[in-house]
C-alpha cells in the first residue's frame, strides 16, 4: 500500500511538471505574439495589445483548461466501476445514481435502443416497471417527447400490465379467486380501504390477488402522498394523520362495517439512512395507533393490528453498517376486541405462531363468513366456537414495515417510544406471523416485502411467486426453451438487430435477481448472438452501501467469461422504476437508454 502511494505521488508530480512546461511554452509563444502585435499596432486596428495583467489572466485560464481537459480525459476513459465509485465520492448513492453510458473512442454512445431492436425487460414484480415500458412501447404515449419511429420488439419477464403491447415470458397462470375482498364483496357487506398513495397499489392490486378489479361494494380512499419532496427524511410523519382522519370518519359511520387501512411510514422512511427520521416515523405511527385504538373502543369496533413485513427492527448488519432493506423477521398480530359481542363471549385465544396467509381466515371467522375452499390458511383464533355470531365491525390495520425482534441491538422499533403499541401488545391476545421466505411464496431465507405481504394477507393461502417459478424453470432448463426468449433472440440474430437486456442487478431485490440476467446471457451465448447489450439498474434497498459497483463488476466478469454481452448503461432504479407518475424521472431513464445521455465511460 505504501509503495502504491509513493508511485501515485511520483505520477502526480510528473503530471504537474508537464503542465508547468506546457504553460511556460504557451506563455512564451503568447508573449512573442503580443510583442509583434504592439509593433504592428497601426496595421492591426482590430486588435488591442494586452496588458501584463491580461496576459497573466489568459495564461491562468489556459492552465486551468489543461487541468479540466485532464480530468475530462480521465472521466471519459474511466470504467463503469471507477465512474460509480467517483459518484459515491460526490455523494451519490446506488438508488439515485445518475445514468452512466458507455461510448466509443469518438464519444458516440454504444448499444442504444434503435428501431427494430429486441428488448427483454427481465424484472419481476411489475408495478414499478409499467411506466418505463409504456414510454418505450406505447404509440399513444404523451408524457414526454420521444424519438420518432422507435419501434421496439419488447419482451417482459412477467405480465406487468395486460394493456402493454409486449410479449410475456412467464404469464400469470391463473387468477387468484376468492380473496378476502372478493369473499366479503359476495356477501354484500361494504368494505372500505384507506391508505396513502404510496401504498394504494398494495391495498388494491396486490391485496385483491394481483387483480386490478374493484369489486362490488369495495371502496378505496387514497390520501395523496407528499409530492415534490426530495426525501421523506424531512417529513417522516408523511400523511399518517390524514389517513387516520379518514379512518375516524368511517369508524363513526355504522354503514361501514369493515375497514382495511395502511400506515406507510415505517416502511417508506425505513429505506432512508437517517436514524432520527426513522425513529420519528415509528413514533408517528404509534401516536396514530393510540388515536385509532381510542376511536375503536368508542365505536365498539374490533381492531386487528398486523404488518406485511419487517424493516427497521433490524436496522444494522452484523458489521454495524446500516440495513435499509426489509428483513426476515416475524410480524405482530393483535386482536383487540372492543365489540359489544366481546362482552357476551369468553376471551378469544390466539395461536402463538402463524403466517400472513392466516389473517384472512381469521377475519372471516370473526365475521361469521364461511371460508372458501381456496383459502387454505388457518384461523388464528383457537377457540373459534366461542366467537359470538352477532354482527360486528372490524378494522384491519396494517402497520407497514413493522417487524418484531426481541434483540435490542439495531432495533429502532424498541428504541423508539411506542407506548401505545406496547400497551396493546401486553393487554390483548397476540401472535407472531411469518412474513418472509416460503411463508409468502418466496425462496427460503429471502426477506419479505410489501407486495408479497399484502398479497398473502388478502389471499389467505400461500401463493407461489414469480421468482420461485422462474428459478424452477432455470433449474429444470425449461427457461432456455421459453418461447418469448427464443423469439426475441432468434429474431435479433436473423435480422442482425441488437438484443438489449434491461433490469435490476441484485441478489435480494423484489424486482429481480442477477441470476435471471446470467441465465439470459447464457441463452444468448448458446444461440450465437453477438450484439448483446446490458442496461443495469442498481438500488440500495436491502443491500450494503455501495453494492452497485460490486454488482456491475460481477456482470462484467460474466460477460467476459462466456464471451457475450457488454454493460453499456448503469443507472439508479430511482429513475427507471417509478410508479407515482413522476414522468421527469422516467424521461431521464428513457433518454439514457435511447439517446445515451449521462456520464460517459469508454470501458466497461
Q: What does the pLDDT look like over 96-155, one tens digit per residue?
A: 999 999 999 899 999 999 999 999 999 998 889 999 999 999 999 999 999 999 999 999
Q: What does the pLDDT look like over 305-360, one tens digit per residue?
A: 999 999 999 999 888 888 888 999 999 999 999 988 666 567 889 999 999 999 99
List, in order, residues 6 or more apart from 239 with CB less than 8 Å away.
196, 223, 224, 225, 226
- 180-462 placed in CATH 3.40.720.10: yes
CATH of 80-171+468-601, one of 3.40.50.10490, 3.40.1450.10, 3.40.50.180, 3.20.20.70: 3.40.1450.10
pTM for the structure as a whole: 0.78
DSSP assignment, residue 128?
T
Question: What is the arithmetic mean of pLDDT over 158-185?
Answer: 93
Cα end-to-end distance, the chain, whole Å: 26
3-class DSSP state for residue 84? helix
Distance set, CA 362 to CA 375, 382, 457, 484 (Å): 11, 10, 10, 41
Give CA–CA dist 204/261, Å, rounded. Answer: 11
Predicted pLDDT at 345: 62
Give CA–CA dist 137/120, Å, rounded. Answer: 12
Predicted pLDDT at 281: 98
What band does 403 get if pLDDT is binned at 50, 70 and 90?
very high
Q: Structural domain boundaries of the chain?
A: 2-77, 80-171+468-601, 180-462
Predicted pLDDT at 20: 53
* pLDDT of 12 above 90: no
| HEC profile of 482-516 | CHHHHHHHHHHHHHCCCEEEEEECCCCCCCCCHHH
Q: What does the pLDDT look like over 381-396, one tens digit per residue?
A: 998 777 776 789 999 9
Give CA–CA dist 84/318, Å, rounded. Answer: 25
H or E segment and range at residue 480: none
User: What are the beta bridge partners of residue 191?
Assistant: 218, 258
Give CA–CA dist 478/271, Å, rounded. Answer: 36
* Residue 461 near residue 370, CB atoms below 8 Å: no
Amino acid at each position: 500500500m505504501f509503495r502504491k502511494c509513493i508511485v501515485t505521488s511520483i505520477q502526480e508530480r510528473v503530471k504537474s511538471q508537464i503542465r508547468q512546461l506546457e504553460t511556460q511554452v504557451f506563455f512564451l509563444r503568447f508573449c512573442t505574439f503580443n510583442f509583434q502585435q504592439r509593433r504592428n499596432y497601426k496595421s492591426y486596428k482590430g486588435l488591442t495589445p494586452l496588458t501584463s495583467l491580461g496576459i497573466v489572466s489568459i495564461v491562468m485560464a489556459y492552465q486551468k483548461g489543461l487541468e479540466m481537459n485532464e480530468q475530462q480525459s480521465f472521466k471519459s476513459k474511466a470504467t463503469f466501476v471507477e465512474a460509480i465509485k467517483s459518484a459515491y465520492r460526490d455523494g451519490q448513492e446506488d438508488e439515485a445514481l445518475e445514468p452512466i453510458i458507455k461510448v466509443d473512442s469518438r464519444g458516440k454512445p454504444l448499444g442504444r435502443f434503435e428501431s427494430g431492436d429486441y428488448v427483454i425487460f427481465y424484472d419481476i414484480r411489475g408495478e414499478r416497471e409499467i411506466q418505463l415500458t409504456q414510454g418505450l412501447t406505447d404509440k399513444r404515449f404523451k408524457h414526454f417527447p420521444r424519438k420518432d419511429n422507435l419501434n421496439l420488439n419488447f419482451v417482459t419477464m412477467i405480465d406487468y400490465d395486460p394493456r402493454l403491447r409486449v410479449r410475456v415470458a412467464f404469464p400469470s397462470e391463473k387468477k387468484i379467486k376468492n380473496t378476502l375482498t372478493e369473499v366479503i364483496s359476495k356477501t354484500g357487506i361494504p368494505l372500505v380501504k384507506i391508505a396513502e398513495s404510496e401504498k394504494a397499489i398494495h391495498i388494491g392490486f396486490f391485496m385483491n390477488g394481483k387483480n386490478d378489479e374493484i369489486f362490488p361494494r369495495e371502496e378505496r380512499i387514497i390520501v395523496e402522498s407528499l409530492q415534490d419532496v426530495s426525501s421523506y427524511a424531512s417529513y417522516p410523519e408523511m400523511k399518517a394523520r390524514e389517513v387516520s382522519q379518514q379512518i375516524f370518519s368511517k369508524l363513526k359511520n355504522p354503514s361501514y362495517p369493515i375497514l382495511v387501512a395502511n400506515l406507510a411510514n415505517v416502511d417508506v422512511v425505513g429505506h432512508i439512512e437517517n436514524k432520527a427520521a426513522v425513529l420519528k416515523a415509528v413514533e408517528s405511527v404509534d401516536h396514530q395507533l393510540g388515536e385509532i385504538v381510542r376511536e375503536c373502543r368508542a365505536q365498539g369496533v374490533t381492531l386487528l393490528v398486523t404488518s406485511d413485513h419487517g424493516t427497521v427492527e433490524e436496522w444494522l448488519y452484523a458489521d454495524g453498517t446500516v440495513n435499509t432493506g426489509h428483513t426476515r423477521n416475524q410480524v405482530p398480530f393483535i386482536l383487540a376486541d372492543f365489540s359489544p359481542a366481546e362482552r357476551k363471549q369468553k376471551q378469544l385465544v390466539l395461536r402463538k405462531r402463524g403466517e400472513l396467509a392466516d389473517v384472512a381466515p381469521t377475519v372471516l371467522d370473526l365475521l361469521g363468513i364461511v371460508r372458501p375452499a381456496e383459502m387454505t390458511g388457518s384461523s388464528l383464533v383457537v377457540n373459534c366456537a366461542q366467537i359470538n355470531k352477532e354482527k360486528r365491525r372490524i378494522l384491519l390495520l396494517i402497520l407497514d414495515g413493522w417487524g418484531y425482534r426481541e434483540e435490542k441491538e439495531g432495533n429502532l422499533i424498541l428504541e423508539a417510544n411506542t407506548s401505545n403499541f406496547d400497551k396493546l401488545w401486553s393487554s390483548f391476545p397476540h401472535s407472531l406471523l411469518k412474513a418472509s421466505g416460503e411463508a409468502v411464496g418466496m425462496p427460503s431465507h429471502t426477506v419479505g416485502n410489501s407486495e408479497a405481504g399484502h398479497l398473502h394477507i388478502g389471499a389467505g393461502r400461500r401463493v407461489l411467486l414469480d421468482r420461485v417459478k422462474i428459478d424452477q424453470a432455470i433449474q429444470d432448463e425449461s427457461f432456455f426453451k421459453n418461447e418469448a426468449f427464443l423469439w426475441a433472440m432468434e429474431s435479433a440474430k436473423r435480422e442482425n438487430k441488437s438484443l438489449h437486456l434491461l433490469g435490476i442487478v441484485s441478489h435480494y431485490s423484489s424486482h429481480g435477481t442477477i441470476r435471471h440476467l446470467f441465465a439470459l446471457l447464457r441463452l444468448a451465448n448458446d444461440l450465437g448472438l453477438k450484439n448483446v447489450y446490458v442496461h443495469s439498474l442498481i438500488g440500495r434497498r436491502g443491500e450494503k452501501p455501495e453494492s452497485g459497483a460490486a454488482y456491475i463488476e460481477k456482470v462484467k466478469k460474466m460477460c467476459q467469461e462466456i464471451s457475450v454481452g457488454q454493460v453499456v448503461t448503469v443507472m439508479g432504479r430511482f429513475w427507471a422504476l417509478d410508479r407515482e407518475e413522476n414522468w421527469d424521472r422516467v424521461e431521464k431513464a428513457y433518454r439514457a437508454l435511447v439517446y445515451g445521455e449521462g456520464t460517459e465511460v469508454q470501458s466497461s
